[in-house]
Amino acid sequence: MTVKRILLSSLLMFMVFACSAIADVKTLDDVLDLFPAGLDIAVSFDESGRADLEAAIGLIEATLGVTASFDAADEDAYTALDVPAEYKTWVNRLSQAYYALGDAFLRGEEGAKTAFYKGQQWGLKSLRMSPDFATEETRHGFIDAVALETDVEALYWTYGNWARKDEFDPLGAIARNDPPKLQALIERALEVDETYLVYGSYRALAAFWGGLPPLPLYAYGQKLPRTLSYICPVLNEPVFCEDCADCPVDPDPDAYFENRLIFAQYYLMEKGLWGDAARVLRSILDDEVGETHMLYNAFCQVLARELLVKVEEHL
């Protein structure tokens, strides 16, 4: 075989390999496999996983009627888009996908804020597809409408994207009075289904109260006792959680690494408990990622390693 043929053969093999990697997300049925019920998106934490996630987003948006003329930066465009009621689940999947894209794959990149904005708008779109919530402006305020909502996915991912987007403009979030709306969304998600995303609302509420600025005279200042009360139900920490009679509610709280990550970052580090923070972060790094939570467990190990560097400066 000539060199030219060898090169041509190699190119063809590469094209076949590339096409086979994309083939897993060619149809909505393929995309559905990436969204196991109540769990994180089933993609790997690498460039292949990012490619699969972006392909899934493209397919879902095309199914929902998003065209090249759709202005993704205009909130009214999402409201005006005519999405059949039976596609509401796909709207939720899109909100979840944008969150994962911005959080895990665009971290530190300019596109992260845009991803969270899109995820928030798709989450709001899903909420407003509910008949009761759709009347928020005529019969209810936003928080009252949230109290009527029963779609835990819409509640959870609207909160997640909105909260992360607000991190780029905390003063603007306060000026818009976002904190009480965010609190309403995630507390309602906890009420509707506490088990969703491996008891994810407990983690979200712990990070919410632990991540606020320490302003004791402000209703939405940091409140570490609340952080502890919300994270204890998903922890194996009997010393710290001795006042929690029913903890943990998760039968296997160590399986999802973010439980311990939130505990270390938003409670132990904020309290200056550096030795315990190091212990918890090292336990995350010592565990196997596994296949059930392969995206976020791998991502949490990256975050744990970064936090441990900061913690060890205090030891």
Q: Average pLDDT in the 103-128 region?
A: 96
Residue pair 136/124 in contact by the 8 Å Cβ criterion: no
pLDDT tier at 8, thresholds 50, 70, 90: very low
Whole-angstrom Cα distance, residue 128 to residue 83?
A: 11
pLDDT at 22: 46
pLDDT above 70 covers a percentage of the chain that reads: 90
How many residues are present in the chain? 315
Note whether residue 301 is domain-resident. Answer: yes
Q: 137-175 in b/e burial notation, b at 16+ Cβ within 10 A?
A: eeebebeebbeebebbbbbbbbbbbbbbbbeeeeeebee
pLDDT mean across residues, the chain: 90
Report percent pLDDT > 90 for the chain: 79
CA gap 127, 119 in Å, rounded: 12
What's the predicted TM-score (pTM) here?
0.90
Convert the pLDDT of each residue in 122-157 to its tens digit.
999 999 999 878 776 667 789 999 999 999 999 999
Q: What is the pLDDT at residue 75?
A: 94
Residues 35-44: tens digit of each pLDDT: 999 999 999 9
Q: Is residue 299 part of a domain?
A: yes
Average pLDDT over every residue of 191-195: 98
Task: Name which of 137-141, 160-164, 254-258 the model is least confident about.
Answer: 137-141
Residue 272 lies in a domain: yes
Buried b (16+ CB within 10 A) or exposed e, 43-73: bebeeebbbbbebbbebbbeebebeeeeeee
Mean pLDDT of 171-200: 95
pLDDT at 5: 34
- The answer on pLDDT for 23 being more than 70 is no
Parent domain of 298: 205-315
pLDDT at 219: 86
In a domain, 240, yes or no: yes
Judged against a pLDDT cut of 80, whether residue 63 lies above it is answered with yes
211 versus 20: the higher-pLDDT residue is 211
The answer to whether position 168 is within a domain reads: no
For the chain, the three-class secondary structure string (H helix, E strand, C coil) is CCHHHHHHHHHHHHHHHHHHHHHHHCCHHHHHCCCCCCCCCCCCCCHHHHHHHHHHHHHHHHHCCCCCCCCCCCHHHHHHCCCCHHHHHHHHHHHHHHHHHHHHHCCCCCHHHHHHHHHHHHHHHHHHCCCCHHHCCCCCCHHHHHHHCCCHHHHHHHHHHHHHHHCCCHHHHHHCCHHHHHHHHHHHHHHHCCCHHHHHHHHHHHHHHHHCCCCCCCCCCCCHHHHHHHHHHHCCCCCCCCCCCCCCCCCCHHHCCHHHHHHHHHHHCCCCCHHHHHHHHHHHHHCCCCCCCHHHHHHHHHHHHHHHHHHHCCC
Is residue 159 assigned to a domain? no
Q: Which residues contact 203 (CB under 8 A, 6 or more apart)?
A: 230, 231, 234, 258, 259, 262
Q: What pLDDT, on a 0 to 100 scale, did the predictor assign at position 175?
A: 85
Task: Flag whether 183 is in a domain.
Answer: no
First-to-last C-alpha distance (Å) of the chain: 63
Instruction: Specify the range with the lowest mean pLDDT, choosing from 107-116, 139-148, 149-158, 205-214.
Output: 139-148
**What is the per-residue pLDDT across 75-93, written as a single tens digit (0 to 9) for each?**
999 999 999 999 999 999 9
The count of domains in the chain is: 1
* Residue 224, pLDDT score: 97
Closest CA to 186 of 143, 208, 165, 156: 156
- pLDDT at residue 20 is higher than 60: no
Supply the pLDDT for residue 98.
Answer: 98
Does any domain span residue 278? yes
At 259 the pLDDT is 98
Q: Could you give the CA distance from residue 1 to residue 9 in angstroms, rounded to a whole number? A: 10
Spatial CB neighbours of 289, under 8 Å, sequence gap ≥ 6: 297, 298, 301
